[in-house]
Amino acid sequence: MKLPKLSVLKEKVEPLGKVEVSPKLQEVSAFFSIVRKEFTDYILSWRIIILLAIIALTSLGSLYTAISTIKDTLSQSSDAQEIAKSSYLFLKLFTVSDGTLPPFITFVTFLGPLLGISLGFDAINSERNKGTLSRLMAQPIPRDYVLNAKFVAALLINIVLFFTLGFLVMGLGILIIGIPPSFEEFMRIIYFLILCIAYISFWLNLGILFSVQFKQAATSALSGIAVWIFFSLFYSMIINVITKGIMTSESLTSTEDYLSKQGFILNLMRLSPNYLFSESTTTLLSPSVRSLGPLTMEQTAGAVAGPLPLSQSLLLIWPQLTGLIAATLICFAISYILFMRQEIRTN
Amino acid sequence: MEEPIIELEGLTKNYDGHPAVDQLSLTIRKGEIFGLLGPNGAGKSTSILMMLGLSEPTSGMVTVCGLNSTRNPLDVKRRVGYLPDDLGFYQQMTGLENLLYTASLNGIPKKIADERAHDLLKQVGLSDAADKKTGKYSRGMKQRLGLADVLIKDPEVIILDEPTLGIDPEGVRELLHLIKQLNEQQNITVLLSSHQLHQVQQVCDRVGIFVRGKLLAEGNLDSLAKQLFFKDSYVVSVEATPISEALIEAINQLSEVNRVEHITNTKLDIYCQSDITPVIAQKMLEHSASIYHISKKNYGLDEIYHRYFEGRESIETT
């Protein structure tokens, strides 16, 4: 059988004269084809479905404990309700718990990296191992589109997931407690969700970096999980050991000395993305947090005890946020360079 | 003679100082089937990757369809279909979905892509498996889907890297037939690499023998044989009695004959420059020898290849 030429087909389908698509536009449409395909792959893969289910369940669980704590407090006295309205009660949905389950933010700090890593760890090496990378590369698309599109698709998953979860928690919160959030509370939650996405993007990019560097998906997954466990469990232990070493009562001679050592340890802590994230979320969701470093008595003297406005809270976490984004970009840049220089062939 | 469509000029690629491809110059003309033949690790795949702009040459020039592959890889890839040797598909997608995805990457509108994908699947005999997940495809089916995948962008040139690897003989026959058919019906230039000689022999117009990054010889089978063993291109093997000294002498006298090898009492191998089987038969009769068997040993690629490597080993050991 003779195959009709593409041009003949084109005329058949578009008899009114074919529209010449510019190569640039063609490339953009190709980019979104990859994004669409990757997105579909993610939401159809068991790995992601299971993780999403776990995250959704834990957030609902923590929402439940938060709501029951808040309800208990509110029912204790009628004054409590009045106080609650003026003290950002709504934000407590994300931060308090009765001790049976950790609050929402703890879950995100803990499970977010796992989600990020699982979205990214086999981005490139699975294509390579399945032999689809060379086929993909033979199509008229720039090489970086593959990496960029995979990142964009995973980011989209994150955005959809976190906004869904955030709004779900808010909606249920309004229904059950019956107190609507103020505009500022709403904005704080939105910023919190954006922060979650930035935090997970970091882990996602770390996963992508490992997927470019390691040829085996298992190696890259294990490396990602190792980094995650290191930062969520061991890093704080190491810092504790260092603290014990340098903060002995003999070595501390003056307040300045104490402050500088405390600052040093704090900076060490801040090398961990988990710490940066928990600092920023605490600040955003608890407006009463005024500073992230140590404060002396002189500094607090005369300060009016009260919550910070949103703009001030944002200002406070600005360094943390830029630090997180910078770490994300560095991971992405390294994987980008590695990928652009890599040989396409498998062997 | 048709215009050149792939031109390589002094192409060199070094990996850690070792040349994988060394000063390769080659011209492939429009509409021909060219076979790149060589053992594993000869640099075939590397050359192909450079033609597609997927690998940067250390020096030299690659021109495909009049475009520099290193500078304009995207334009080249729009015109060239490439079937890699380690072909793979997205296993969770069906054959049809895989084809449509490739089409979308080439900017082919959905409607046209759909129609064309179905046509192609029919042509490669996968219509029934179109909605089956490619994870369940056999190796032969994958290879045929690969061919459809390469053709969906309506290429001017298709480059097939080891297309017959790991398929059963019947599958190979069908695939080669399909390639030949495409070449004849649509005037698609085909470049295929292989280390399986007799397969290449069946379909290729011209063949290039490629060893350790260098092109040793190119041309059709006859001229290849001449280039590689220009002295003893033909061997005529005769079985007859009696073989007298005078007969051998007489054959040796012929201007085309290089030498005569007396194998057994009744067997002769005659190495000559051109095909003079009838002349030899006549000489035999003149010397009243009765012929039991006379045949011309034809140098297939296998033989050429084998003889070349025999030679190489002796060079290496000395």
pLDDT of residue A83: 67
Q: Do the Cβ atoms of A9 and B54 come within 8 Å?
A: no
Q: pLDDT averaged over chain B?
A: 84
Flag residues of chain A having pLDDT under 70: 1-21, 77-78, 80-86, 304-305, 346-347
pLDDT category of residue B317 using cuts at 50, 70 and 90: very low
Taking an 8 Å cut-off on Cβ atoms, the answer to whether B107 and A346 are in contact is: no
Q: Which two tokens stand for residue B253?
A: 């006298």
Task: Please tell me if residue B203 touches chain A, with a CB cutoff of 8 Å.
Answer: no
pLDDT the model gives residue A15: 44
Does any CB of chain A come closer than 8 Å to the CB of residue B13?
A: no
The answer to whether the Cβ–Cβ distance between A29 and B122 falls below 8 Å is no
Angle CA B90–B93–B94, to nearest 5: 120
So what's the pLDDT on residue B308? Answer: 64
pLDDT for B231 beyond 60: no
B21 or B305, greater pLDDT: B21
- pLDDT tens across B137-155, in order? 988 889 999 999 999 998 9
Q: Distance of CA B257 to CAs A118, B230, B233, B278, Å?
A: 73, 12, 10, 13
Instruction: Check if B165 contacts A (Cβ < 8 Å).
Output: no
Residues 176-195 of B with CB under 8 A from A: 185-186
Which of A12, A37, A343 comes nearest B101 by C-beta? A37
> For the packed helices A273-285 and A310-341, what is the interaxial angle rounded to 10 degrees?
150
CB contact (8 A) between residue A1 and residue B111: no
User: Could you tell me which residue, A150 or B208, shows the higher pLDDT?
Assistant: A150
Query: Can you say whether residue A199 is alpha, beta or left, with left for phi > 0 and alpha for psi between -120 and 50 degrees?
Result: alpha
Band of pLDDT at residue B318, cut at 50, 70 and 90: very low
Statement: residue B294 has pLDDT above 70: yes
Quick one: tokens of A235? 């890093």
Closest-approach residue (CA) in chain B for A36:
B101
Quote the distance between the C-alpha of residue B133 and its chain's center: 32
At position B225, the amino acid (one-letter code) is A
Contact A209, A123 (CB under 8 A): no
Contact at CB, A131 and B52, closer than 8 angstroms: no
Domain positions in chain B = 4-227, 230-298
- Identify which of B173, B228, B223, B225 has the alpha carbon closest to the alpha carbon of residue B203: B173
DSSP state of B136: G
SS3 state at B146: helix
Half-sphere CA count of B217, side-chain side, radius 13 A = 16
| CA-closest candidate to residue B190, choices B13, B26, B34 | B34
The strand order across the sheet containing B67-68 reads B18-29, B4-15, B59-64, B67-68
Kindly indicate the confidence band of residue B158, based on its pLDDT and cuts at 50, 70 and 90.
very high
Nearest to A138 among B45, B77, B112 (CB): B77
Topology at the third CATH level for domain B4-227 = Rossmann fold (3.40.50)
> pLDDT tens, A306-341?
778 888 888 888 999 999 999 999 999 999 999 998
For residue A142, list chain B residues with Cβ-Cβ distance below 8 A: 74
Beta bridge partners of B26: B8
Q: Count Cβ atoms below 10 Å from residue A159 Cβ, excluding itself.
A: 16
Per-residue pLDDT, B314: 46
The dihedrals phi and psi of A276, each to the nearest 5 degrees, come to: -55, -45
Instruction: Give residue-wise pLDDT tens across range B168-189.
Output: 888 888 888 888 988 998 889 9
**In chain B, % of residues over pLDDT 90:** 27
Q: Which residue of B has its CA nearest to A45?
A: B92
pLDDT of the residue at B316: 45
- Name which residue leads in pLDDT, B269 or B221: B269
For residue A139, which residues of chain B lie inside 8 Å, CB to CB?
77, 102, 105-106, 153
Write down the architecture of domain B230-298 according to CATH. Answer: 2-Layer Sandwich (3.30)
Residue B91 at interface with chain A, using a CB cutoff of 8 Å: yes
Check B104 against A346: CB less than 8 A apart.
Answer: no
How many residue contacts between A and B have a Cβ separation below 8 Å? 108
